[in-house]
């Protein structure tokens, strides 16, 4: 119920929301959890495995139960934790893992069979034929929320920042550190995961530095860059940290989570501590809550979760909760496990040496049995709230991620940091405000290298009562829950130990203890203490599981930021992109460039467009946008010698103005890329790698220059984007070029095949190259990119009377297949050597020790049965074999694959289907027939030389 | 995210770099070495636990290739 006064909620701003369809009201300042408690909701979830009804345990990141499905303003979060999400007007909240609802769940019957579902049950039972066979159906019954099908349209932002000091945690210790470090001149970032700064000061008022605690918080916060609602979820290498800023206050459309990547020279972890549960029979009923959480809900949102309360504890901290409940009007009994309670009872009814021995209540706790640990006697007490404190576990997660070591502190009954990054506050095991402030102050001063600022608060710390180690209460046969989120009991831990799982890491994987969204924040220490007891070792010997990022779940969308859809790998656009679109181009991704696949006329199917374009380019004239083709300039006195060490083919003897088709290999001898190498001058080359390999070839040139031949004087420059290049190809190409009005002599004698010349067109610099990927006479005209549109439109105008049509990549692929010109990565793969392509001239003739040469001299490279590049003529001239079809041959018992089809199409010239492929010993099999096997269907083809049109190359001359 | 020392640019964030693997000494002249020596150079890497020599390229910056020694357990750069 909600109290009429108190709390940091705004009672003038009521918020309407629904819980499992029921209308409810909360206030600004509520979390979903506090609003549910205020509305009397007890059951918020069904447990992961047994579908047990569960209530809210914690108030923050430790909450294991209250995973809910939230829809707000059309956005869906299927696994929100109710304690972490601020309530918003219009939210629709539902329970998960239940049908039809958490309050009445048909799967609840599973709990009756729980004795048949011990740890490892699934792994042991569902072995045949394999676990994967059963997993989908088992997962459907267990688990958390369901992901929706709607697209997440929230905007996520990524930011990078640097600072001298990052402070994690905005409680008293973190703020004292900020105050001291900022005074020492450091640039400080402080991140705190709660919506409001102050940590424990939000719950327990105190006077600091002569002023009210929260006023002190506000004053200190102005001294650095403070991020509230921001979780530091990971500590990574060299002082880098991942932060998730929730931005819950942002209106829709103004960005949700913001991911920060922070590089900090120093760090202080003031991450606090998390209250542990006690392990006693039936300790999972709704209405059994962390004592600290009860006080947080009471002070923060004026929510009183119960009126008849037992506070069960083994330490002093829960007494503050008992006092707060009593002040709010609840009747309170403190069951203190210690024979001599340490804290001030001051008007409370305290039962020393008393622990909870069992609980009952169908839809939430309605009674608790209290008595001594040995169960010698018990007294039943009616309650509607059982507040529990089993001691505190320092939140060492980030500290450990960052490489810090831990020590089991027998006195504090906790793993505390020892060695590693600086820590301050209750992460050290400190339990009182003065100590936390003093530690924070000292840490801040040390980070700044000193300073004369006085400590904010320095009265002597009151002596705290000792914590009583208490890991398991009673020997009842009722279940004692260790991990509420994963339904792991004390018995499961015992069973795992009995079956030989002695390592905590194995325990975690076998029982699932400490997995899922809360990662064992409440269960970890209790679990390993039980394992220690079961295996006769100390807690220190057992140790903890390894802490890994993230501290709390991080949405994948936040990690992706703006890198989704087209921004994952933005496509590059051609200089005349929009002219292509205007011509009906179908743009597709080819090696990272948006390029025209074909130009469809109205009503024309894609296949017909491709055939028409290819046919027209052969018969008359085509124009092709080759601007994406790589252009790397290589300059310097050693350019020729260097390139000769890189390329498979001889390039040093190339005369200026001449071009040569060349391969470049890896040291493995495998073909990396092909392309035309042109010599522009004695000391200047122009390379044309394939569009998708330009960056790779440039990187390779630079690596070889710097790492292997640093003394050579040569430089590289990728000028791909600086030039637009259009190719005109076909029998009428020269006719068009003669009308272009360039200064270059384009006759076959003036500019023969494989020649290049610089000149001008309309007074603009141009370069014209005679190079062909179609097999017809072709001219490539390049102009500075700024003139791309002018040249493109000029070519279209000149070409129209000659019957010119633009052709796309798909038609080009047909034209080149007719000629048997390879496409790297299509006809070749990671095994292909130049000899496999029939290109063995340079290996025999070239003396230079070029890249990959030695690998071509191995026995493997000389095998006669290597797969070789050949043509395949299908028996059925009207059927195009599927690329990837296996070529099989041989008598029945020795029948096997000899290779496969790499390219196939209908040939416009031959009016029949043709194919290219890689076939074992293919060049020795010309004329042989193979069967092409694809998806159970078989066709036949004859092996032939990989050139179907104009074997003599006469068409190249136009 | 590592901080790596580029010889030109100083300490820069890891995403600016490309990893080039272990440096291998190229046996030259290649035509004179036996198959085993060549295979060792092309294919075999030590993948040491602990101190590990590796090459990096400041590909998102100045383009410089360089060798450094890094601890593969702690990720600490031992020697630039
Ligand atoms: Zn650099």
H, E, C per residue of A898-957:
EEEEEEEEEECCCCEEEEEEEEECHHHHCCCEEEEEECCEEEEEEEECCCCCCCCCHHHH
Per-residue model confidence (pLDDT) at position A453: 79
pLDDT value of position A124:
66
pLDDT tens string A343-366: 778 889 999 999 999 999 988 999
Q: Is the pLDDT of residue A142 over 60?
A: no
The answer to the question of residue A678 being in a domain is yes
> Per mean pLDDT, which range of A35-39, A184-188, A513-517, A530-534 is the poorest?
A513-517
Mean pLDDT of A925-929: 96
Enter the CATH code of domain B3-79: 3.30.2270.10
CATH number of the domain bearing residue A693: 3.30.70.1400
- Residue-level pLDDT at A727: 98
Sort out which chain A residues have CB atoms less than 8 A from B20's CB and list them: 703
Task: Give me A158's structure tokens.
Answer: 């990524």
Q: Parallel, antiparallel, or unpaired for β A572-573 and A593-599?
A: parallel
A230-239, A497-506, A895-904: the lowest-pLDDT one: A497-506
Looking at the fold, whether A945 and A914 belong to one and the same domain comes out as: yes
pLDDT tier for residue A805 given thresholds of 50, 70 and 90: very high
Residue A49: predicted pLDDT: 80
Question: Are residue A132 and residue A16 in the same domain, yes or no?
Answer: yes
Enumerate the residues of chain A whose CB falls inside 8 A of the CB of residue B42.
Answer: 667-668, 855
d(CA A381, CA A309): 9
**Which domain-ending residue is among A151, A176, A205?**
A151
- Pair A14, A115 in one domain: yes
Among A237, A261, A699, beta carbon nearest to B2: A237
Rounded to an integer, what distance in angstroms lies between the CA atom of residue A749 and that of residue A759? 17
- Smallest Cβ–Cβ distance between A849 and the set B20, B28, B43 belongs to B28
* Structural domain total, chain A: 6
pLDDT in tens, A411-446: 999 999 998 899 999 999 999 999 999 999 999 999
Q: Is residue A847 part of a domain?
A: no
* 8 Å CB contact of B1 and A238: yes
Q: Per-residue confidence at A463, pLDDT binned at 50, 70, 90?
A: low
Does A158 share its domain with A16? no
CA angle A214, A266, A424 (to 5 degrees): 45
The answer to whether the Cβ–Cβ distance between B38 and A858 falls below 8 Å is: yes
Are A98 and A3 part of one and the same domain?
yes
Q: Could you give the 3-state DSSP secondary structure of residue A444? A: helix
pLDDT-derived band at A131 (thresholds 50, 70, 90) equals low
Can you tell me the mean pLDDT for A78-107? 84
At residue A771, does pLDDT exceed 60? yes
Q: Do A238 and B18 touch (CB under 8 A)?
A: no
DSSP E strands in A762-885: the ranges are 764-769, 778-784, 804-806, 867-874
Q: Is the pLDDT of residue A240 over 60?
A: yes
Spatial separation of the C-alpha atoms in residues A13 and A458, rounded to whole Å: 40
Cα–Cα nearest to A267, from A393, A172, A398: A398
Q: How far is CA A45 from CA A101, A110, A473, A711, A787, in A?
A: 9, 15, 26, 70, 66
Tell whether A510 is covered by a domain. no
Using alpha carbons only, what angle is made at residue A789 by residues A784 and A791, rounded to the nearest 5 degrees?
A: 70
User: Tell me: the pLDDT tens digits for A32-85?
Assistant: 999 999 999 999 988 878 888 999 999 999 999 999 999 988 888 888 899 999
Do the domain assignments include residue A505?
no
Q: Which residue of A has its CA nearest to B1?
A: A237
Cβ of A707 within 8 Å of Cβ of B75? The answer is no
| pLDDT at position A574 over 80 | yes
CA distance A181 to A443: 8
**Which residues sit opposite A756 in a β-bridge?**
A769
A51 shares its domain with A131 = yes
The mean per-residue pLDDT over the stretch B6-18 comes to 95
Mean pLDDT along residues A929-935: 96
Chain length of chain B: 80
Q: Which residue is closest to B27 within chain A, CA to CA?
A: A854
Report percent pLDDT > 70 for chain A: 95
**Spatial separation of the C-alpha atoms in residues A184 and A205, rounded to whole Å:** 28
Span B62-77, pLDDT tens digits: 999 999 999 999 999 9
pLDDT digits (tens, 9 = 90+) for A252-262: 777 778 999 99
Residue at A547 is within a domain? no
Check which CATH number belongs to the domain holding A405 and give it: 3.50.50.60
**Contact (Cβ atoms closer than 8 angstroms) between residue A919 and residue A889:** no
Q: Are residues A125 and A19 in the same domain?
A: yes
Q: How far is CA A307 from CA A7, A502, A550, A706, in A?
A: 18, 43, 38, 77
Could you tell me if A590 and A739 lie in one domain? Answer: yes
Give me the total of CB pairs closer than 8 Å, taking one residue from chain A and one from chain B.
Answer: 55
| Interface residues of chain A, partner chain B, Cβ below 8 Å | 236-240, 261, 263, 403, 667-668, 699, 702-703, 706-708, 849, 853-855, 857-859
Max CA-CA distance within chain B? 43
Cα-Cα-Cα-Cα torsion A753, A754, A755, A760, nearest 10 degrees, comes to: 80
Burial environment of residue A78 by CB neighbours within 10 A (0 to 12, 13 to 18, 19 or more): middle
Name which of A386-395, A492-501, A763-772, A918-927 the model is least confident about.
Answer: A492-501
> What is the predicted ipTM?
0.97
Average pLDDT value for residue range A227-235: 96
pLDDT band with cut points at 50, 70 and 90 for residue A876: very high
pLDDT bin (cut points 50, 70, 90) of residue A141 is low
Domain-embedded: residue A824 = no
- Cβ distance A707 to B28 less than 8 Å, yes or no, reads no
What's the rounded mean pLDDT across residues B22-47? 92
The answer to whether residues A375 and A397 belong to one domain is no
Q: What is the CA radius of gyration of chain B?
A: 15
pLDDT at A79: 86
Task: Looking at the complex, report in whole angstroms how far the Cα of residue A310 sits from the nearest Cα belonging to chain B.
Answer: 49
In a domain, A258, yes or no: yes
Q: In whole angstroms, how far apart are CA A406 and each of A409, A416, A537, A547? A: 9, 6, 17, 11
Q: Ligand 1 centre and the CA of A592: distance in Å?
A: 26
CB contact under 8 A, A854 and B38: yes
Find the angle CA(A293)-CA(A298)-CA(A300) to the nearest 5 degrees. 90
Chain B residues whose C-beta sits inside 8 Å of any chain A C-beta: 1-3, 13-14, 18, 20, 23, 26, 28-31, 33, 35, 38-39, 41-43, 55, 57, 59, 63-65, 74-75
Q: Please provide the average confidence, as pLDDT, over all residues in chain A.
A: 92
Which structure tokens are listed for A715? 């430089």
Looking at chain A, the whole-number percentage of residues with pLDDT higher than 90 is 77
CB contacts, 8 Å: B44 with chain A: none
- Could you list the residue range(s) of the whole structural domain that residue A415 is in? 154-275+391-465
Given a cut of 80, whether residue A281 has pLDDT beyond it is yes
* Closest-CA distance of chain A to residue B44, Å: 12
CB A613 within 8 A of CB A585: no
Q: Is the pTM of this model over 0.90?
A: no
Which residue among A375, A390, A405 closes a domain? Answer: A390
**Mutant choice from A162, A264, A707, A833 vs B, greatest count of B C-beta within 10 A:** A707
Judgement on whether residues A196 and A169 belong to the same structural domain of the protein: yes
Contact A263 B1 (CB under 8 A): yes
Q: Is residue A451 part of a domain?
A: yes
Domain ranges of chain B: 3-79
Exposed/middle/buried for B32, CB within 10 Å: 0-12, 13-18, 19+? exposed
Please name the helix (run of DSSP H) or strand (run of DSSP E) that holds residue A359, with its range, or none. strand A355-360
A687, A718, A749 — which closes off a domain?
A: A718
* pLDDT of res. A147: 76
Residues A648 and A688 both lie in one domain: yes
| Pairing assessment for the beta strands A481-483 and A488-489 based on DSSP bridges | antiparallel
Q: Do A32 and A175 fall within a single domain?
A: no
Measure Cα distances from A742 to A472, A656, A762, A766, A828 in Å: 92, 20, 7, 8, 38
Give the angle subtended at the CA of A618 by the CAs of A616 and A620, to the nearest 5°.
Answer: 55
pLDDT of residue A99: 67
pLDDT of residue A698: 96
């Amino acid at each position: 119920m909600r109290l009429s006064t108190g709390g940091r909620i705004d009672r003038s701003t009521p918020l309407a929301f629904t819980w499992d369809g029921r209308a409810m009201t909360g206030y600004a300042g509520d979390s979903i959890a506090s609003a549910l408690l205020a509305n009397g909701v007890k059951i918020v979830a069904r447990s992961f495995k047994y579908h047990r009804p569960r209530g809210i345990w914690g108030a923050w990141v430790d909450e294991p139960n209250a995973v809910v499905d939230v829809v707000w303003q059309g956005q869906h979060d299927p696994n929100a934790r109710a304690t972490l999400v601020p309530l918003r007007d219009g939210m629709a909240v539902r329970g998960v893992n239940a049908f039809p609802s958490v309050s009445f769940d048909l799967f609840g019957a599973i709990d009756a069979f729980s004795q048949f579902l011990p740890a490892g049950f699934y792994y042991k039972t569902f072995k045949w034929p394999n676990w994967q066979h059963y997993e989908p159906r088992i997962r459907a019954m267990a688990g958390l929320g369901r992901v929706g099908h709607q697209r997440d349209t929230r905007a996520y932002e990524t930011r990078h920042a640097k600072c001298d000091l990052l402070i994690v945690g905005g409680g008293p210790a973190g703020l004292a550190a900020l105050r001291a470090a900022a005074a020492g001149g450091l640039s400080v970032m402080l991140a705190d995961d709660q919506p409001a700064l102050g940590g424990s000061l939000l719950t327990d008022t105190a006077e600091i530095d002569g002023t009210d605690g929260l006023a002190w918080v506000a004053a200190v916060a102005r001294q650095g860059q403070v991020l509230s609602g921001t979780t530091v979820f990971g500590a990574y290498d060299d002082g880098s940290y991942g932060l998730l800023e929730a931005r819950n206050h942002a209106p829709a459309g103004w960005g949700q989570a913001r991911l920060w990547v922070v590089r900090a020279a120093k760090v202080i972890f003031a991450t606090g501590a998390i209250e542990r549960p006690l392990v006693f029979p039936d300790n999972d009923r709704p209405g059994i809550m962390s004592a600290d959480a009860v006080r947080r809900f009471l002070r923060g949102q004026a929510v009183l979760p119960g009126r008849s309360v037992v506070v069960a504890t083994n330490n002093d901290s829960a007494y503050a909760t008992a006092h707060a409940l009593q002040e709010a009007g609840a009747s309170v009994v403190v069951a203190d496990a210690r024979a001599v309670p340490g804290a001030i009872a001051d008007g409370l009814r305290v039962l020393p040496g008393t622990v909870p021995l069992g609980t009952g209540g169908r839809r939430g706790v309605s009674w608790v049995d209290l008595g001594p640990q040995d169960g010698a006697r018990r007294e039943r007490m009616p309650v509607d709230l059982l507040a529990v404190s089993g001691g505190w576990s320092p939140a060492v997660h980030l500290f450990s991620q960052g490489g810090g070591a831990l020590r089991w502190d027998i006195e504090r009954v906790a793993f505390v940091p020892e060695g590693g990054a600086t820590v301050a506050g209750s992460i050290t095991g400190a339990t009182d405000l003065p100590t936390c402030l003093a530690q924070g102050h000292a840490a801040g001063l040390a980070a700044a290298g000193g300073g004369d600022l006085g400590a904010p608060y320095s009265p002597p710390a009151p002596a705290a009562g000792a914590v009583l180690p208490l890991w398991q209460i009673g020997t009842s046969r009722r279940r004692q829950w260790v991990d509420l989120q994963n339904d792991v009991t004390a018995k499961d831990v015992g069973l795992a130990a009995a079956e030989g799982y002695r390592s905590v890491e194995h325990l975690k994987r076998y029982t699932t203890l400490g997995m899922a969204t809360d990662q064992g924040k409440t269960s970890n220490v209790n679990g390993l203490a039980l394992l220690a007891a079961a295996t006769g070792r100390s807690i220190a010997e057992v140790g903890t599981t390894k802490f890994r990022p993230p501290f709390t779940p991080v949405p994948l969308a936040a990690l992706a930021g703006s890198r989704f859809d087209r921004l994952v790998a933005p496509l590059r656009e051609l200089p005349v992109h929009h002219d292509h679109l205007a011509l009906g181009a179908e743009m597709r991704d080819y090696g990272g460039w948006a390029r025209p696949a074909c130009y469809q006329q109205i009503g024309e199917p894609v296949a017909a467009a491709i055939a028409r374009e290819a046919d027209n380019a052969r018969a008359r004239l085509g124009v092709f946008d080759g601007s994406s083709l790589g252009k790397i300039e290589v300059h310097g006195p050693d350019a020729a010698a260097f390139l000769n060490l890189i390329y498979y083919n001889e390039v040093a003897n190339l005369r200026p103005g001449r071009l040569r088709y060349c391969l470049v290999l890896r040291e493995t001898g495998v073909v990396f890329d092909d392309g035309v190498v042109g010599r522009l001058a004695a000391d200047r080359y122009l390379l044309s790698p394939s569009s998708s390999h330009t960056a790779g070839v440039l990187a390779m040139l630079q690596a070889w220059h710097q790492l292997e031949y640093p003394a050579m004087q040569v430089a590289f420059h990728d000028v791909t984007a600086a030039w637009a290049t259009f190719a005109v190809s076909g029998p009428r190409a020269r006719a068009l070029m003669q009308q272009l009005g360039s200064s270059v002599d384009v006759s076959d004698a003036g500019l023969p095949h494989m020649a290049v010349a610089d000149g001008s067109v309309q007074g603009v610099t141009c370069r014209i190259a005679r190079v062909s990927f179609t097999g017809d006479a072709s001219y490539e005209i390049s102009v500075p990119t700024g003139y791309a549109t002018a040249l493109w439109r000029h070519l279209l105008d000149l070409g129209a009377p000659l019957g010119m049509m633009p052709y796309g990549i798909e038609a080009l692929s047909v034209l080149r297949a007719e000629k048997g010109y390879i496409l790297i990565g299509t006809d070749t793969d990671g095994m292909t050597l130049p000899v496999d392509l029939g290109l063995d001239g340079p290996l025999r003739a070239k003396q230079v020790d070029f890249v990959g040469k030695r690998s071509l001299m191995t026995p493997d490279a000389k095998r006669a049965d290597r797969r070789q590049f050949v043509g395949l003529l299908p028996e059925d001239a009207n059927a195009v074999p599927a690329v990837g079809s296996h070529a099989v041959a041989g008598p029945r018992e020795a029948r096997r694959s000899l290779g496969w089809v790499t390219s196939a199409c209908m040939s416009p010239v031959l009016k029949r289907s043709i194919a290219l492929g890689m076939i074992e010993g293919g060049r020795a099999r010309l004329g042989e027939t193979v069967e092409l096997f694809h998806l159970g269907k078989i066709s036949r083809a004859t092996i032939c030389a990989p050139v179907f049109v104009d074997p003599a190359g006469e068409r190249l001359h136009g | 995210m590592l901080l790596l020392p580029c010889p030109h640019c100083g300490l820069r964030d890891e995403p600016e770099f490309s990893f080039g693997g272990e440096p291998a000494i190229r046996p030259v002249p290649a035509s004179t070495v036996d198959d085993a020596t060549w295979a060792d150079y092309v294919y075999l890497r030590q993948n040491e636990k602990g101190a590990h020599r590796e090459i990096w390229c400041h590909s998102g910056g100045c383009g410089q290739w360089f060798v450094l020694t890094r601890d593969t357990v702690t990720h600490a750069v031992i020697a630039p």
